[in-house]
Structure 1
Amino acid sequence: MTQPEPGTVVVTDAGGGRYTQRITTAAHEFAADEPQAAGGDDAGPTPYDLLLASLGSCTAMTLRMYADRKGIPLVRTTVRLRHDRIHARDCERCETEAGMLSRITREISFEGDLDDEQRARLLEIADKCPVHRTLTHEIAIETRVV
């Protein structure tokens, strides 16, 4: 298979396991799968693991870029994420009022000689990462058979 052009991701049955998928980008190839408990071979991260990894890596990269640009002495950022489903009625800031909705919990820790103002500003910047913005704004997904 030829590598897709930059900005395109191709996902194909890997042919090995029941749910194992081969993910190919312009420069990388890796696997996704379901855990054995869900009938997969656990040959790679789950789709939700990949979603969380996208948000976490984008958050950390955005914070690194901002800190470097502003001269903030950030040594390391660690982002811990978890996805679960909750009842809409348990969500104080959600528009949805009935049924279930997805919740992503993101915990960020900073290493470095940072004051309270720098930490607060970095926390604000975390919400400005492109993946965070994508996930929290309207998304149009167009699907077609080719």
Structure 2
Amino acid sequence: MKNAASKTILSRDSYKAIAFSRSHEMNMDRPIEDGGNDISASPIEYLLAAIGGCVSMTLRVFANHKRWDLGEITVNVLQKNKLTSSGLITSLVEEISFEKEVTQEQKHELLIMAGKCPVAQLLKKETNIQSIIK
């Protein structure tokens, strides 16, 4: 997998941010209740969407290799927070569905492949984030 890069610029007066990746531009904002203007998805919502997009693409590549017709693939990613005596525990749940019928054996194989999505793998393993102020 190639190294990826992104550049983000936050506006002076609000929480509106514009992120640039390759030749693409993505707007981000915070919900109104969090002080933003809600003009686009939040960074967390983009992260959840990235997981869903990656899982669905990973499954499409696998299904095409197996010559399985899954039809449309839907991945709904939910963030769940639970307060415990140890603190806040966050978990993500991927609800995956297919337009076409799949057998139990196919479901088993597809579930294994869903776990191989590079975005989810990045989050599951320890990732070092180094912040540098220039």
TM-score by length of 1: 0.84
Please give the alpha-carbon distance, in whole angstroms, between the structure 2 residues aligned to 1:126 and 1:137.
15
Identity of aligned residues (%): 31
* 2:71 counterpart SS class: strand
For each residue in 1:51-97, what CA deviation from the matched residue of structure 2 results, as whole angstroms up to 9, or x when unmatched?
101110000000000000111121111001111311356xxxxxxxx
Which consecutive aligned stretches of 4+ in structure 1 deviate over 2 angstroms post-superposition? none
**Cross-structure match for 2:90:** 102
| Equivalent in 19, 40, 44 of residue 40 of structure 2 | 44
Unaligned runs of 5+ in 2: none
Unaligned runs of 5+ in 1: 1-5, 90-97
Aligned length: 132
When the two chains are superposed, the root-mean-square deviation of aligned CA atoms in Å is 1.6
Please give the alpha-carbon distance, in whole angstroms, between the structure 1 residues aligned to 2:80 and 2:101.
33
TM-aligned CA deviation for residue 143 of structure 1: 0.9
| Equivalent in 60, 65, 68 of residue 72 of structure 1 | 68
**Cross-structure match for 1:132:** 120
Please give the alpha-carbon distance, in whole angstroms, between the structure 2 residues aligned to 1:77 and 1:123.
13
**Cross-structure match for 1:7:** 4
